Amino acid sequence: MNHRIAAIASNTFREAIRDRVLYNLIGFSVLMAGTSILVGQISVDIEKLVVINLGLTAVSLFGVVISIFIGIGLVSKEIDKRTLYTVLSRPVQRWEFILGKFFGLAGTLAVNTVCMAAGVFLSLLYVAHRLQRADSSILVALYFIVLQFVIVTALALLFSSFSSPLLSAVFAFALFVIGSFSADLRGFAGMSHGFSRWITTAAAYVVPNLSALNVISSVAHGESVARQMILANTAYSLFYAAMVLCGAILIFERRNLK
């Protein structure tokens, strides 16, 4: 990463932390504290399962909201404030601007996830009184959630490179929802016939396969995640995000900013 991308990423990180993430962390902390108290009244057999399920789901949803609603404004806000013209008047290429924004927001979400993960483990410690070796699988689930954020952030940047913030939010959220059910979509494609099968199969492989990154339920039940799955999901997520970023850069390079 060159110094220009690093500078844009650092500025994006500071701005995101100052504007959004603090409130998110406060809300998440209150949610997890309240959950821990309520779960204490539930049967001992399922209280741990509930805390892990609720905690990881909250981390995922909070992070997706941040990645979409900050990501869609990374380009449009700079244009509205006319600060983009100042940045591009310096020796900064458009592709460097896009990558800097992406790494800045991705770094923000990673820090945000670490802080929220601490809340999950503290709540788990409260209800279970001790952590077990099997609980290390929660870290894998959190890692997969971060990979989801990487993909959603790239999608938000792609749409913001050519569309309005409102439409960008709609498009990004729609792809997140569809991607969360991509396994069902691929199953439906397998049952289709003729032209509809071609269409559904193409759609199933174009949308991000976010369902493969959702291991919350299995982790909550104490199941481990295979190393091959971790490697495959990492490679897929990075490749998909890279392709989406390439599309965002190509569109932004050709966009008339006047």
pLDDT at site 43: 58
pLDDT at site 234: 95
Give SS3 for 202: helix
The fraction of the chain above a pLDDT of 70, given in percent, is: 84
Tell me the mean pLDDT in the region 84-102: 80
pLDDT at 236 over 90: yes
Tell me the mean pLDDT in the region 12-26: 69
> Residue 165: pLDDT band by 50, 70, 90 thresholds?
confident
Distance between CA 81 and CA 110 in Å, rounded? 27
Letter for the amino acid at 90? R
pLDDT at site 30: 61
What's the whole-model pTM score? 0.87
Tell me the mean pLDDT in the region 227-242: 94
Answer for the pair 185, 207: CB distance below 8 angstroms, yes or no: yes
> Residue 146: pLDDT band by 50, 70, 90 thresholds?
very high
pLDDT at site 246: 93
Average pLDDT of the residues of the chain? 81
Answer for the pair 104, 20: CB distance below 8 angstroms, yes or no: no
Q: Which residue has the tokens 């009244």?
A: 41
